[in-house]
Amino acid sequence: MKQRSFIFIILAGILWGTSGIFVEFLAPYGFTSLQMTFFRSVVSFISMLIFALVHDRKLLKVKLKDIVMFAFSGLAFFGTASCYYFSMQATSVSTAVVLMYTAPVLVMIFSVAFLGEKLTPLKTISVLCMIVGCGLVSGIIGGLKFDIFGIAIGFLSGISYSAYNIFTKIEMRRGGNPLSATMYCFLFSTVISFFTCKPQTIAGNIAASPAVTLPLIIALGIFTCILPYLLYTIALKNLPAGTASALSIVEPMAATIFSVVLFNEAMSVASIIGIILILGAVYLLSKNEA
């Protein structure tokens, strides 16, 4: 089970690595970071709802005490995505990725403090390798586009991401269904983002080029949200929150590879070293959890 969970987390990281692609494609059509968060949330919620209605209506049933936890998870999801997208536009994709992935350190600390997990030397070394590798892969070392507000928002995305990990882990420990937890997380994020994204401007932006924007919006929700978050939530049943968050840091590696393949960006020696560090850290964590 743990081996499958490791695979799920890595796949989730790769899918999250496509986020920058969609942001780069959608931003020229006038969509804001809050609107992109709304797209992710609503597409994912509708997809999950259809699945529940067709295949398993029991997923719609939740305990009243779980609603509060779902609401917090939805708020954390909203904060993660909105701040992440804004940071991408204010600084750069690579900088935003690095700033969000301060989360593994925060999750490790929170998990040790509140969830009773042990912070082993091997985990500490693995996370440090991942942070250094993340900096090298993204180009933050020597290539940081300085924007104080954008950087602050980027760190806030990391805090929100770590909070999502903790809330989801608590729900899984209570015996919650990962599919139900994910669906209601998307529901609350949809509600929150709807009231903050200026929905009156969305229709006009879509109408300007529907053949391009609609497929991108749907793909944004499916490939950067519903699939990776489902994989991630399921994996949390068998992995500590800190380890799961650390493993998903393969996102910057994936984002770098996508940029090289799709946008013909050159890969520096630093990026290659960073990829090796990240893969080495993943291997160390997998040995630690074996």
| Domain ranges, ordered by start, for the chain | 2-289
Angle value at C-alpha 26, between 20 and 32, nearest 5 degrees: 95
* Beta-carbon count within 10 A of 147 CB: 16
Residues 206-218 have pLDDT tens digits of 998 999 999 999 9
Q: What is the pLDDT of residue 137?
A: 65
Residues 218-248 have pLDDT tens digits of 999 999 988 887 788 788 777 776 667 666 6
Q: What is the pLDDT of residue 129?
A: 82
Q: What is the pLDDT of residue 138?
A: 60
- Please tell me the pTM assigned to this model: 0.77
pLDDT beneath 70, residues of the chain: 1, 94, 101-109, 115, 137-147, 241-243, 245-249, 263, 265-267, 282-283, 285-290
* CB neighbour list of residue 252: distance below 8 Å, 6 or more residues apart: 17, 94, 97, 98, 101, 134, 137, 138, 274, 278
Q: What is the pLDDT of residue 219?
A: 95
Whose CA is closest to 18, among 183, 270, 252? 252
